[in-house]
A and B are shown apart, each in its own frame.
Chain A
Amino acid sequence: QVQLQESGPGLVKPSETLSLTCTVSGGSISSYYWSWIRQPAGKGLEWIGRIYTSGSTNYNPSLKSRVTMSVDTSKNQFSLKLSSVTAADTAVYYCARGDVLLAPWGQGTLVTVSS
């Protein structure tokens, strides 16, 4: 079955850009929406945005000015970039297949913003 795995630096300095990649295995990345979600410690889930394999994107209005998503179908990967990070961006970041029906999810990766 399809599995997702997030990867990227676990520590990012304030004002820098957070970059994460989600690798899809067990199935093709093509013809699906792919989403990013984050969860600060002890808090609820926040939708960051979604990308279709054509490259079409939708972002959370509260993050839109800082978010860029991309997809690489040749590598079966999609990526997230979040610029100008602050401590408020510290969270577990999840990738998931889908636009509104999110399944499956990756296991999540903790990103800490600190100098």
Chain B
Amino acid sequence: QSVLTQPPSASGTPGQRVTISCSGSSSNIGSNYVYWYQQLPGTAPKLLIYRNNQRPSGVPDRFSGSKSGTSASLAISGLRSEDEADYHCAAWDDSLSAFYVFGTGTKVSVL
């Protein structure tokens, strides 16, 4: 039921910059904040970015978020092995039946 589209996978070598896209519509990303969650293997998701580009305390500044129109992006600079995880974008959707929607998820691999 995901209405936010992410690439299934992304990869990079240590130290590289990786960018993940999240594509939505005017009823979700286009009119509401975007959130990003990191899910390490075998664990529960953890909030990584809130309100498009804000980092919770403890999240390294290697992680950054941005939004433009109906799309958003998560960038990981200085890629590290511990960044290997699934990343999920999310936003509130203001359509007729308002609800919270997650992206399809992106698996980031560190080569």
Chain A residues near B (Cβ < 8 Å): 35, 37, 43-47, 50, 58-62, 64, 94, 99-108
Contact = CB atoms under 8 A, between A and B. Distances in A.
Contact of B1 (A35, A46, A58): A46
A108 B46 CA distance: 12
A50 B101 CA distance: 12
A103 B46 contact: yes
Contacts, number: 66
Interface residues of B, number: 27
A101 B2 contact: no
Is the contact region of chain A dominated by helix, strand, or loop, or is it mixed?
loop
B2 A102 contact: no
B3 to A, nearest CB: 11
8 contacts: A43-B105, A44-B105, A45-B102, A102-B35, A102-B37, A103-B56, A104-B46, A105-B45
A94 B45 contact: yes
A59 B98 CA distance: 9
